[in-house]
Structures are given as structure tokens and as C-alpha cells.
Amino acid sequence: MKDDALYFWNGPLPETQAPANAPAPEPWAETKVVGKPVTRIDAYDRVSGSAVYPSDVILPDMLHAAVLSCPHAHAMVKKVDVAAALKMPGVRAILKDGDVGTNIPWFSGRGGFSSRLFDAHCRYEGDEVAVVAADTIYQAWDAVRAIKVDYEVLPQVTAVADAMKPGAPAVRDGGNVIPPGQPYARGDVEAGFKAADVVLEHTFTTPCELQNPMELHGCVAKWDGPRLTLWESTQGVYGVQTGVARALNIPLANIRVIGHYMGGGFGAKLSHGKYSVMAALLAKKTARPVRLFLSREQVCLSMGNRPANTITLKAGVKKDGTLVALQSKTVGSGGAYSDGGTGGVDYVIRELYACPNVRCENQNVYIHAGPERPFRAPGHPQGAWALEIMLDALAAKLGMDPIALRLKNVTLVSQTRNGNPKYTSTGFADCLKNGAQTFGWTEARARKPLPSHIRRGVGVAGGMWQGGGGSPPATAIVKLFADGSANLNMGASDIGCGTKTWGAQIVAEELGVPMDRISVEHADTGTTQFATPSGGSKTVPTESPAIRSAAFDVKQQLLGMAAEQLKLPAADLELRGAEVVSKTDATKKVALGQIQAFSRRGLLVGIGYRVPNPPGTAVNPFGAQFAEVEVNTKTGEIKVLRFLAAHDSGRILNEKMFRNQVFGGVTMGIGFGLTEDRVMDDGQLGKLLTVNLHDYKMPTALDAPADKTIVIVDPHDHAFSNTGAKGVGEPATIPTAPAIANAVFHATGLLLTDAPMSPARVLRALEARQQAAAGQKRGK
């Protein structure tokens, strides 16, 4: 399986060849701008409210559109009567199955399965039936409600366990249980378990989570003759361009996708949506721009999720803490349309700790629910939940400190990749050690519990992310203007990670141009360079070396021109601020504005390409997180008192933004561990019950601990790219929930295996333990 590949990119990755013998920059030593806590260059736009997000785009004559979603978990659409709706005030167009131009293939899957834009066979509550464009958004929804649909409601199944039973309503032809692929296996797990001194087995469950970024999914579509412009809330404008071009069968050159600002994605916006195509079709039909954004309820229903998983994990360990065998069986569902449901779950189990005997089986199942979309570190929080809690259970059995157990099994090589390549750097051990020291681990673990029903405890969990090392393709262009100001042009979207800012910082570092004299263009298929979608913690490691190469290219050209003019070798010259100066004789210099060849050219253009990481290496980010909790054993309430995140993401490009993102990942992990859970009406109507932001519970300001610390582990990895920067978006959220669970374990002795750890689950576990103890007493 291709872990290194971008999991959301279909097909082979394009290779980008760098020019042969191109000079490459030396690794940075001391940096002046890179790494510093520079204020974001678009801070003004965002805090002033002047940044125009796709949902803010207002065009003259623009129409507003709304989607009619199927209210049933499983139904056939027999008839769609739009006659009354068409006559309603302000309604300009309605599209439904059978209308011209709507026969567009959509989801495709196993066995040649294919659905369509408006598929009469609705396979989950939320499947699209029709779309209305009207003068106002209120009129659009009035018309949606006036569309009369005859549904044949069919039996449905939304619980994975029920879907696996014989006789369950069939979500797809060929049954609900997808024939599993080859399990992953290395070594001999049975022999491993035999050789182990301690073997434990637990079944863990994790919730189905909804990304629910703050900006709703949608776009504004406008045609100019044959050319379409889409302002879309997306993580990748080129992905949208490709998807919509294919759907509408128009040349790529005729679609421009603009995605300058976007209100969050977390993986839910890595590709276009039906709304992209619907808006374009409506805009064509009405000859007016169309804004189509889904409602929050529709986003909850149909814009992606992290599948719930059941993971049975068996682990064997020697007395001295050496892991000898790991075996996992994972079950999950990607909904009705995805063939997945367990992707990425076993990665940390296979890779994070040294273990010679490993076997991982995955079982994917169809249910009548919305399709999964990659959600920040797909599979990894689930795998870490099982693995890291298991490690603490093993540590307890061995009487070993949980950190010592982890340190015992740190590996310097990738165990799953062909040839077991060495990591160019792994700061995992340092994350554990330095994090523990800063956290005050030893003292906190040794603290005697007070005689109170409120128990305190501390826990740790480790993690790594399958991506985050970067790869081609990426192209960046840096322009140096005659006055020494610069422009950076790149395709990558800024999904909240400060992409434009660190990009500018790299240009500033390489060329000495002050930050306020650098402009950045990005995320526009009409005007900027190619980039794959921003996600998977790939943007920093992929784009940063390309940007540096582009800036370096400019510098080489400049030095070459100055060398000719000064009659000195280029190697003797360096760029200092707005001058080129001889390294050996400071009196020999020329101001940028005085370099004649530069003035004649008017502009210098540097191009940077992302070259592949060195073959035979593995590049991954690592982390360890620590939590202190307070558990009220009377009410089951868990309070996270303080939290520490220690991360190796290589070189940090901007410390302020890095810390912000790590805290953000931790907050999301708190949701996974304590509050988030998609609930469906299993066994009755199969509808989504957590269909709004009250019932689907994302962490608020009062759920994020006030006391949060970050420890940065920078391994100074110069081996894999010219910036040495790895990704952090995903690593930041992988170990959070199990760190909290392990703290609860330390505080109470309860090994909680089911996330989220709501008061209900804590109370059930407490009661079960009480009854078990009572039963034992009685047994005597």
C-alpha cells in the first residue's frame, strides 16, 4: 500500500524534474526571518473582516441557490414535480434528474459502481435530488420546500454491526461487506505471542466525526461565454478545476478556480462537490452568476466524516518492555458511496514502534450514511487511540513507566516501506524525553492521590503521521522587481496554516527583501502555479523547498549580473539587503538599482521545482503529547487541567503560527476524545440525529484547557530538502485523545477503550468495575 502517496490524489503522482546540475542552496544556519514569530501578512484582511471568502463574493445579478436533499436513509425517487416551485416568486431555474446536462457520473467504486449527480437511487439522508436558483436565498428555500417528490422508502441500515449481518438491507449490489484485501503481515504474530511474557487484547471504539469547518461548503459560479470562473471554498483549486472540467466536459483552460481565502477544510474540502457542478449548470441555464452554499445541516449530512472504527488490538511484550507482536482487526464504514472505512488506521500500529511481528486486517462495510472524506490524519487518531492506550495497559501490567516502555521500542527505520529506509530524522525519543521533563512527568506520576472522589492523573501518548515529508509536484515562481521588492507566486491554498506568510518569510530570508515589500499570489488556477491540494501536512514540506529554490534562482541570476558588472567572480559576491557586496572586499559593491543588466531586464524571474526526497529515505514528523486530568468519579466528568505537546516537525518556519496550529490540533483531539460523536437513528429511520452544531459537539473555549505548553524538537534535518521543514497539521491531533485516556487511567485505574469519554461512558465503566469487584467478593 502506498503510504507515501497523497492519499487523496487519484493515480500516480506527476514527477517534476529539476534542471540538471542546478546549484542548490546550502542548509540555513542562523536565520533572520524564517523561524521567527512574524505576524501573518494577511492578518489585517482577516481581522478587519475585509477578506473576501467565497461565501462573501457578491456579483451583480447574482442568484442564490439551495439544494433539495433526500430526507430518507434509503429511497428511490419516483417522481420530482417542480411545477409549483417554478412558479414561485424569484425562482429562475430548477435542475433535477433527467434535465439536460445533469447526467453526470459521480461516485464510482468497486465492481464498476457509478452514481450520478442526481441519482434516483438515494442511498443516505442527504443525497441530492434537485437544486433551485432564485433571486434571494429565502426564495430559493421556499421553492425547495415546494418541490413535490414521490419517494419509495426502502429498508435501511446505518449501524455497521447490523449491516454485516446476513439479510441486512443491501446498500450496494454484492452485499454490504466489502471483500477485504490482503492483510498486512510481517514476521509471525503467533510465534510472537508465544514468545511474549505478557499478552493483552482489548477492543477499542472510536466515534464517527464530522469535519464541520466553519465556512460552509459551496461556491459562486459565473460564466463568461465558454469560460467558467468558480470562487470555491476549497483546499485545492487545481483539484476543483480538474473535477469540474471532467464533469462538464470542458477544457481545463476554460475553468478558473479562485480560492484565496477559505474558512477551514480539515480534509472535507480536498475535492470539488456536487455543488460546484450544480452552480455551474444553474449559472449556464440562467445566464447569471449563481451562489450555492450548503446549509449547516447539509454539511453535517453529506460533506464528509471520519469513519467510526472498532479496533481489536492484541499486543505481546517481553518482561523488559520489548514489543514482540501486534495484531489488529479494524472494522469501519465509509458510508454508502466510499469503498473505504478503515484507511490509515493501522499505520501507527505497523510503524510507530519497533515490532518484528505484525498483522493488520481491515474490514470495510457499506451503510446508508454520508460518504467519508479524509479528516485530519485519516485513520491515525483511531489507530493511536488503540495502540497508545494498549501500551499503557501493558506498562501497568509490567510495572513499567509508560515513557520508558515507549522509549524501549523507538525505531530509527521505517518498518513498512520497502527496504526499511532510515528516517532522515526522528525526534520521537526527544519528544518523549523533553516533553516529559518540561511536563514534570516523574513527579506527577509519583504523586499520591488525595482521599477525594476527584482524582488527578497524568498520561502520555505518542504519534507519527504517514505524510509530512513532502514530495513533488510543486512549482513556485519568485519575481524580483527593479526596486528590490518581490512577488511570490504559488498554487497552494492557505487553509489556515499561514501558507502565504511562511512563503514570504522564505523569500525574505533568501533575498533579504523585507516582509512588507513582498506580495504573494496563490490558489488561483488562472494566475498561479500548480499545486496539489493543501492537506495531509504536505504544504510546508512540499512548497517550502520549491519557494526557496525559486528565490535562490533569482539570487543566482542577480549575483551573475553583478559579477559581470563588478568584474568579480560570482562566488565572491553575496546579497546584503539592497546591495550586492564582495565577501572579501566590502568596498566593492553595487546597489540593486545600479545593476545595469537588471534594470534593462526590468524584472528577474526565478523558478523553483520541488524535487523528490532522496531515494531510500523516509521522512516523517513525530510527536508526543501529555495531559493532566481531573476526573470526578461521582459524576464522570473529565476536566483537562493542562496539556503539553512535543513535536518534531523539522525546522519551524514561523513559531507563532506553529504553536497556534499545534494547539488547534490538540483542541480537535479533545473533541475526538471527549465530545464529538455522530449519532444516527440506527434501527429506526436511519436519519442523522446530530445534524446541527449543538447536537454534534465540537470543543468550545471552555473545553480547551487554559494551560497549554509546546516543546519544539528540531532535529536539524538537512538531509531531505533545502528547508528541512516537515508538516505538523496532522501530527498535532494524533496523540491527543489517548494522552487524555491514559491520564484518566492513571487517575482512576479505569482503562477506557471507547471514545469519546463522555460522563456516561466514565460512569458506566465505574459501575462495571464496582459490580465486578462486588461479584468477586460474593464469589468468595
Partner 1 sequence: MLRTFAYVRPGSVSEALKQLEERGSRIHAGGTDLLGCLRDGVFEATKVVSLAKIDELRGLTVAPDGELRIGALTSIAELAAHPAVAEKFAALAQAASVVASPQLRNQGTIGGNLCQRPRCWYFRGDYPCTRKGGEMCYAVGGENQYHCIFGGGACVIVHPSDTAPALIALDAKVRILGPKGARVIPLEQFFVLPEKDATRETVLEPGEILAGVLVPPAPAGQASGYRKVRARGSWDFAMAGLAHAITIKAGKVAAARLVLSGVAPVPWRLQAVEKLLVGQKLDAKLVARAADAAVAGAKPLAHNGYKVPLVRGVVEDVLGAVPAA
Partner 2 sequence: MDHEDRDKPAAAGGVSRRGFITSVGSGAIGVAAAGALVKGEPGQAPAETVKAGDVGTITLTVNGRRHKLLVEARWSLLHVLRDHLGLTGTKVGCERGECGACTVLIDGKARYACMTLAVEADGHEITTVEGLMNGEELGTTQQAFADEDAFQCGYCTPGQVMAAEGLLRANAAPNLDQIRQGMAGNICRCGTYAHIFKAVAKAADLKRQGR
Residue 238 as a binder of partner 2 (CB under 8 A): the answer is no
| Closer Cβ to partner 1, 133 or 403, answer by number | 133
Residue 758 as a binder of partner 1 (CB under 8 A): the answer is yes
Q: What is residue 90's three-state secondary structure?
A: coil
Q: What is residue 689's three-state secondary structure?
A: coil
Return the range that interacts with partner 2 (CB under 8 A); candidates 333-341, 439-447, 481-489, 698-706. Answer: 698-706
Return the range that interacts with partner 2 (CB under 8 A); candidates 153-161, 435-443, 495-503, 514-522. Answer: 495-503
Residue 767 CB, nearest distance to partner 2 (Å)?
A: 31
777 binds, among partner 2, partner 1, none (CB under 5 to 8 A by kind): none
Residue 155 as a binder of partner 1 (CB under 8 A): the answer is no
Burial class (CB within 10 angstroms; exposed 0-12, middle 13-18, buried 19+) of 90? middle
Q: Which of residues 633-662 bind partner 2 (CB under 8 A)?
A: 656-657, 659-661
Give the CA angle between residues 758, 704, 663 to the nearest 5°: 125
Strands (E) in 652-728, as ranges, are 707-712
Contact status, residue 706 vs residue 310, Cβ threshold 8 Å? no
Residue 380 CB, nearest distance to partner 2 (Å)?
A: 17
Q: Sheet holding 358-365: strands in order across? A: 184-186, 358-365, 323-333, 309-317, 198-206
Contact pick of 206, 424, 675, 736 for partner 1 (by CB under 8 A):
675
Rounded Cα distance between 428 and 151, Å, is: 55
Return the range that interacts with partner 2 (CB under 8 A); candidates 262-270, 411-419, 549-557, 623-631. Answer: 262-270
Going by C-beta distance under 8 Å and a sequence separation of 6 or more, which residues neighbour residue 224? none
| Closer Cβ to partner 2, 668 or 747, answer by number | 668
Q: Which of residues 135-154 bind partner 2 (CB under 8 A)?
A: 136-138
Local structure of residue 641 (DSSP, 8 states): E
| Closer Cβ to partner 1, 50 or 771, answer by number | 771
How many of the chain's residues bind partner 1 (CB under 8 A)? 43
Helix (H) or strand (E) holding 83: helix 83-86
| Closer Cβ to partner 2, 59 or 396, answer by number | 59
Residue 275 CB, nearest distance to partner 1 (Å)?
A: 17
Rounded Cα distance between 663 and 660, Å, is: 5
Each residue 522-561 as x (binds partner 2 by CB under 8 A) or -, in order, gives: ----------------------------------------
Burial class (CB within 10 angstroms; exposed 0-12, middle 13-18, buried 19+) of 585? exposed
| Closer Cβ to partner 2, 324 or 657, answer by number | 657
Q: How many helices, marked H, and strands, marked E, lie in the chain?
A: 19, 30
Residue 684 as a binder of partner 1 (CB under 8 A): the answer is yes
Residue 104 as a binder of partner 2 (CB under 8 A): the answer is no
Contact pick of 122, 292, 325, 668 for partner 2 (by CB under 8 A):
668
At 262, list the grid cell. 477559505
At 72, list the grid cell. 430518507
Which one of 209, 676, 730, 767 is the catalytic residue?
730
Residue 212 as a binder of partner 2 (CB under 8 A): the answer is yes
Residue 497 as a binder of partner 2 (CB under 8 A): the answer is yes
Contact pick of 273, 496, 686, 727 for partner 2 (by CB under 8 A):
496
| Closer Cβ to partner 2, 622 or 663, answer by number | 663
Residue 710 CB, nearest distance to partner 2 (Å)?
A: 10
Contact pick of 642, 697, 708, 769 for partner 1 (by CB under 8 A):
697
Contact pick of 214, 679, 773, 774 for partner 1 (by CB under 8 A):
679
Contact pick of 446, 600, 701, 776 for partner 1 (by CB under 8 A):
701
Q: What is residue 458's three-state secondary structure?
A: strand
> Can you give the length of the chain in residues?
780
Q: Dihedrals φ, ψ of 227, to 5°?
A: -105, 135
| Closer Cβ to partner 1, 585 or 767, answer by number | 767
Strands 475-481, 486-490: pairing is antiparallel
Burial class (CB within 10 angstroms; exposed 0-12, middle 13-18, buried 19+) of 350? buried
Contact status, residue 81 vs residue 147, Cβ threshold 8 Å? yes
| Closer Cβ to partner 1, 574 or 681, answer by number | 681
522 binds, among partner 1, partner 2, none (CB under 5 to 8 A by kind): none
Closest by alpha carbon to 657, among 40, 28, 31?
40
Rounded Cα distance between 336 and 172, Å, is: 8
Residue 157 as a binder of partner 2 (CB under 8 A): the answer is no
Where do we find the cell 459501575?
A: 767
At 427, list the grid cell. 525526534
Return the range that interacts with partner 1 (CB under 8 A); candidates 245-253, 357-365, 591-599, 763-771. Answer: 763-771
Return the range that interacts with partner 1 (CB under 8 A); candidates 93-101, 619-627, 634-642, 708-716. Answer: 634-642
Rounded Cα distance between 60 and 66, Å, is: 19
Question: DSSP per residue over 258-321, as a string?
Answer: E-S--S--TTTTSS--HHHHHHHHHHHHHTS-EEEE--HHHHHHHS--BPPEEEEEEEEE-TTS
Rounded Cα distance between 194 and 179, Å, is: 30
| Closer Cβ to partner 1, 411 or 690, answer by number | 690
The question of whether 510 is a catalytic residue gets the answer no
759 binds, among partner 2, partner 1, none (CB under 5 to 8 A by kind): partner 1
Rounded Cα distance between 373 and 171, Å, is: 18
Return the range that interacts with partner 1 (CB under 8 A); candidates 539-547, 610-618, 700-708, 741-749. Answer: 700-708
| Closer Cβ to partner 1, 341 or 636, answer by number | 636
Q: Sheet holding 622-632: strands in order across? A: 454-464, 622-632, 638-648, 707-712
Rounded Cα distance between 38 and 45, Å, is: 16
Residue 632 as a binder of partner 1 (CB under 8 A): the answer is yes
Going by C-beta distance under 8 Å and a sequence separation of 6 or more, which residues neighbour residue 449? 455, 456, 747
Q: Which residues are catalytic?
A: 730
Residues near partner 1, by CB under 8 A: 66, 71, 137-138, 140-142, 145, 453, 632-637, 674-675, 679, 681-685, 687, 689-691, 694-695, 697, 699-703, 758-761, 763-764, 766-767
Residues near partner 2, by CB under 8 A: 37, 39-40, 42-53, 55-56, 58, 136-138, 211-216, 261-264, 266, 293, 295-296, 495-498, 656-657, 659-661, 663-668, 692-694, 698-702, 704, 706, 708
